[in-house]
Structure 1
Amino acid sequence: MHREISYLDSMFRRERHAGLYLFTALIGALLALAIWPELAGWLSGWWQVSLPKLPTGLTILGRHFDWALVAAILGGARILYGALESLLAGRFGADLALALAVVAAILINQPLVAAEVVFIGLLGECLEAVTFQRTQSALQRLAEICPTMCLVLRDGREEKVRVEDVRVGERVLVRPGKRIPVDGIVVEGRSAVDQSTLTGESVPVDKGPGDEVFAGTLNQHGALVVEVRRAAEHTVLARVLELTAQALREKAPLERTADRLARYFLPVVLSLAVITFVVGWWWYGGGRVGAYEAVYPALSVLVVACPCALILATPAAIIAALGRLAGTGVLVKGGAALERLAQVQAMAFDKTGTLTQGRLQLQRIVPLAAEVSENELLRWAAAAESLSEHPLAQAIVTAARQRQLQLLPVEDFQAHPGAGVSARLAGKTVLVGNSRFLVAQGIVLGPEVERVIATLDQSGETALICVVDGRVVGVLGASDTIRPEAPVVVQELRNLGLEPIALLTGDRDAAGRRVAEHVGLTEVVAELLPNQKAEWLDRWKQRGLRVAMVGDGINDAPALARADVGIALASIGSDVAAEVGDIVLMGDPLKPLPLLVRLARQTAHIIRQNILWFAFGVNAVGIVLTAWLMPAWSETARHRAPLWAAIYHQIGSVAVLLNAMRLLWFERAVSWSWWKRLWDASQAVDRWLDRFSLHEAMHWAEHHVRAVTLTGAAVLLTLYLSTCLVIIGPDEVGLVNRCGRVLDTPLPPGLHLRWPWPWERIWRVQPQRVRSVPVGFRTTLGGTAPMTWSSPHGDGPGSDREEALMITGDRVLVELQAAVQYRIAEPRRFYFGLANPENLLRAEAETILREVVAESDFLVLLLTAREKLQREAFHRLSRRIERLNLGVVLEAVAVQDLHPPPEIVDAYYDVTRALLERNRRIIEANREAESAISLARVEASKVVAQAEADHFHTIARAKAEAQAIVELENSIRRPGVYHLNWPTWPTADGMHPLTVAASLHWASNHHPYDAAADWALTRLRWTLEMAGQALAGKPRLIRDPQLKGRLHVLPDVFRPRIVLPGETLPPRRPTQEEK
């Protein structure tokens, strides 16, 4: 039956490539038929066998066509169509190079070469199609995780409806073993839900009323009634699928190196061919003969520069790299993945199933009753859990079997889904489960139990409490197993220059940090949903980093698709993770990862060599030899130049392949004889382990009980006695707890023979290792530089606002985050003298920092007093530690972040902007004032200069007029006589003629000079000038009372002239009296 089409299917519509595969097979078959005659003749001569003869071609309308020509025409037509389409779109790609090579080979009667070029191009296209189709198939299986039908409770009845028809607010029944179809809240029932498809958590999560569940997760044991919050395309799973599909769409295939270089390669080749033809046509005399002879060198250029070497440059290196990876458990799904991996700068790991093995294992057994040992506690818990199917129960039973403990028979058993189990063993009631289950059963958990649970939770372990007849006898902790090769792999990657390397997990922060510390990672981001992992990678890519993601499971699918290179683990990961990833790691998943990175970089180096040396360098030499030098030798050589060009072209292609084959021996060990024998032995052991069957081993053990028992007892005794040997490292000391009392003298470094467990227990301590206690935060993302208050801040996952908030001396709130670094000076006091020394040290450090901050002003702390703050806190805290006798030596107090609370940072920005604006306006005002003062000074200097000039001119004019009057006075011949020449008398500097005449008359009567006369003469001159101005333009009559008769003067016409001494006046007309 076909699965019904759902809302998820539209994301993953498959493209059909069957036509491409059939067409490639057809071209391959035609090519095989074309080379069969030569191959059959060679094989017949070598093996002395007779092989059948096949038709050499196809006859149509009486014309014979070789199989190679048919293949070249069929494949060339398809390639030519794509090349023309690219040209119309304005692109030069490898398709155009292939089309030109095919046409040129056909024109020079080399159809086999043309068929080879076609087949190589089609093979590359098929590889791309296969890779994309496999990815789509995996995504289609991913969509099938979410059920399409569900049981909805309507009017008290169960109704089976499609998921798309479920409305928000309705209630859905999910039976045990079924996947949850919607996102919602549990309203009835309890169960353990496997959320590994979304979060990657290895432990099923207990769900009860009020807890949130997600579509696609698996309900394991109990029935659940879920109130719908999100359905169909709005669920978290649908969002994961959409993000995965979107990332795959956005991650367009890398433009091939051949395509990028062909944009420049092809125009150059075509230009050289045209130039060769034109020069050859002119050289060979022009006309039709010249054109015929010139076509051979031009075709040689096209043939020798055929882009086969350019096209083979990348695939040959990729194929050789894949051959090198054969047997290493690495599957690379495309050459583009290796090219991108060679450019990777940062790497992110998932936790569950990637750095861990994805299998729960009992890590810790903590007896809490004096009479109960670890084995006794494990025996009680394993017997009670023996009938449970929960993964935690199976981990406990497996640990008991590994210790060969005899389990008590179960008299009564009851499972409580999502909580624990209760059983009747040897007449006693045994409860095993989480704290919530035991509290519900009326069990009182003491402070010691709470402390052990908290310790297990901090180390990332899941705690199960064992109660016998109402009394807590112990706690068991289980967690995922870290891959043993993970620390070495991380260190090798860091040595290759990959930085940063981060752990992204959906699990708890404590579990993620435990794994990170074990493998050597400092950057941990926990409790991430699948889409948040992809967003985290996007932030790295926005910083310009090329990122690789290593993960498994559906929860990693969006991140694997969003990363530049997705590396999936197929051994325990889901199919979609393996298919969405560009590279799949199998076998020992992490072990070949450093080799893969180094091989990818070497592959990129080989590709560059193939392109630069062979696709360009060898082709350039071939053009010179076969197209330019050979045609100049002789006519025969000229006509055979295309053939030699084809041979030379094959040599260049073989050189590309030989250069790429060097990758087959990349980092391979030298095959010495003893090493080969050792290697063969190890391979034999591996094959034996693969064939090993536990069932067959148990069957053999049943027939050899005595030998197995004695051997097992000897092994156990040997292992038990081996606990007497204690090795203390060179940087360690050993604390000895003998029967509950800690010895005063620690064990020095070296090998020691001690009492076996449980009489003595040894704690190894590194006293010289610098440890750190955070104040104001709990987790750091690693590699962050110290910040200031102007840096962007927020409530990160590790910030502790209540602890970080402090008050300065001027009553300003600040947030301070610091790290207190210390060494253990007295291990005995530190580990056994105090309940929790690190918490005490943190509390004291917080108190000291609050005191120091309260003694300083806010601005001083921000600008200049940070170093002083650190020094003062260091000294005070050192004295406090010495007084409290914590057993530690303080190394440093480092303030990592100091800033105002984020809520008031904007106000500080506003104040800063206001101060900057005030300073800007003051500067502008001062500049405008200086400019105005400068302009005023210039204007004042101009006014002063003008006044001085006017002053000088006035004085000069007055002196000139005074001199003129004096001269007139001296020139008067006799009193009362005027010598005037009215028509030609000039006005002296605007002086009116009447003024001159009056002055002359007055001077004739007052010729003796004195000061009073001079002042009177000046006043008369002013009076006459004013009168002249008032009477200007009007008819005037001047009358002298001393003269008889009337004298009419028109000054504008008759202008009197002063007669200087020595001049002669025209004869005047005699007066009436004289007559």
Structure 2
Amino acid sequence: MSSLRGLTKSEVEERIRKYGLNVVPERKESLLKLFARKFTGLTPYTIEVAAIISFFLGRYVDFAVMVALLLVNAVIGLVHEQRAEKAVELLKSRLRVIVRVLRDGSWEEVPAEYIVPDDIVKLKLGDVVPADGELIQGHLIVDESALTGESLPVDKNPGDKVFAGSSVLRGEAVVKVTATGLTTRYGKTVELVQVSKPRLIIEEITSSITKGLLVADIFFIALVAAKLVLSRTSILDLLPFTLTLLIASIPIALPAMTTITLALGSLELARAGVIVRRLEAIEAGSMMDVICLDKTGTITENRISVKEVIHLTEDYSEKDILLYALLASEEDAKDPIDRAVIEKASEEGVSKDGVELVEFKPFSPETKRTEALVKIGGVPVRAVKGAPQVLAEMDGSLDKQRYEDIVREIGGRGERPLAVGVEKGGVFRVIGLLGLYDKPREDSPSFIKAIKEMGVKPVMITGDNYYVTKSIARMVGIDGKVISLKGMPKEEIRSLIDSVGVFAETVPEEKHDIVVALQEKGHVVGMTGDGVNDAPALKRADLEVAVSNATDIAKLSASVVLTRPGLRNIVDIIHLGRRVYRRIVVWSLNKIVKTFQIVYFVAISTLFLGLPVLSPTHMILMLFLYDFVTLSISTDNLRPSKKPERWNLRKLVEISVVLGLIKIVELFAALYIALDYLALPFDQVRTFVFYVLLLSGLFNILNFRETNWFWASRPSLPVALSISGDIIVGSILVYGGWIIPSIPLSAILLGFIYSVSVTLLLTDVAKLFVFRVFGAV
């Protein structure tokens, strides 16, 4: 059994062998099942039907190409899903819950998965309960809503049970662990670390585009089918052609492309010290135009020191003030204010010798103070330290005007005032003030400058004193009004919201109100937080960021967790979010325009000619080659915008339609060259059109990835290699004649020159004109 010394190392190892690690293993499907699933769904079913028909018609080349397309897509999709899954596992492994546990007579910190039954653990405000246990000391108020659905907090006293996955809202306690992992009460339903995968706006946009195109595609395909039936085309020839045209209208690579983009983005951020717990954070990062920042430990270093001690009455010396501040501090706490008080007291030779601790009440966001009931020489004394305005309300004899003047002076020097009080014989007095100094982080001014240049407004929200908050804000470059919310009605907050840069003396509920007010004004809001008091505002914000020193609750409720001190990584989130946005825009433009190129051009030309201008083999080959380029978009080095992004689906469609019509004109010109200028046989005309259409579709990526000239930035290596590879393979196919009819080398050269000069260069000129008229997307 555990004693006050806790378990020994050998006892821990024995229990790990017996009970296993404190984890809930996930049920995972086999690779075979995952692979088989790649052959289900609208796109695979359509290709499979077309392949079966081709096989029974003796079109074995078409059949082989379709099967290859299915297999390659399935393999690529599976490989990248596995990469995405590994990315999630990496994020989980880095987002560990750390627990204070008593072992071999001393308190140490260990990851939650190494907690075993009979361990003695210490829980405090902001902790996530790592395992089932029984309170043996202290008092807690916990949130069990994630387990039971009950929203009201629950009191826990010695002898009561606490359950893994619940959150500590208030108090501090020592707990003896009774069950871990799957043996906990809610073990099968709770994971301490979760990475959610909600539906994204990006997915909704691409889905809307796809559905809209599919309706138009089916209309054109029906027209072509009717025309071919009237011209007495065999139904056995008609079916493969119409099915292949339908396949061309479906975004085969979209699911994999979205998955790869976000998975690679998460890994990229993880390497930079950012853990993405919810993928919508990347999306929110692209659109965020306001970010609400906490001050302490975020903009400042959170290395607090006591710079000065000011006594308010001659009855108590500076050492007396330090003593009572020390009594109201925890020796083994991680709280930076407690550490600063303990260090200053040690420097001045002040100690707790001869003092008996009766009861200790730790700091809470609601009371904004710490209290200790002690006995000095057998006499009960209550020592209190906390926010100056809170302690001032407890002292009826205080000279409020003089007190406020001193508080203002301390704040004006960039120090944070901390009040110290004592209660003797039922009378409470504020006896002094400590000037705490927490200097701004060296990178805070550059971070503020960087996000302002990116079109994101920084807003500081803090519970600290008005004057010190104003001083720090000006040091780091935060603009706008500085206001105190003390006593300010919600309506007034809403009216001032756009002009304010700093909100001081706030309470947790007001942080939430500020975020709501900003959102009601149409802003996409980011919020940084480090504790339980930030949870309401974090949950409401569009981008929730837990800083590196945040509590477990804050980290596990945020969409993004920073693993390095400071906020510089938020710039990485914004940059990546905007790059992902650009990748989806490029995909959307490419998809709509390519639908014009393949489906509408093929349909219209077939209506005019009475014969399909491309065979099913041509179209399947083209889709097969396009697949690799489409997937490579997820890796492209696109330049992020200098301002927050906003989805404008109407503008995107308008621009795509204009560019698509231009592409149709270019392709009809190529068809004319093949029919009249080169006077090729119709089988070779199809191959010539296939070649120009292939190159034109590949050049779409180069055209649309830049809002400037296409050469303004270099594509990523995968994009460059996939485009180059497709051009080489396409050229070999049209020359060799193994799968499709070959065309003369002169026709290939003419097709290449035409594609580069018209579908790349001329289209780029047209693109710039269209962007000038409609505005870039």
After TM superposition, the score normalised by the length of structure 2 is 0.49
Structure whose CA Rg is larger: 1
Higher RCO, 1 or 2 (CA under 8 Å, sep at least 6)? 2
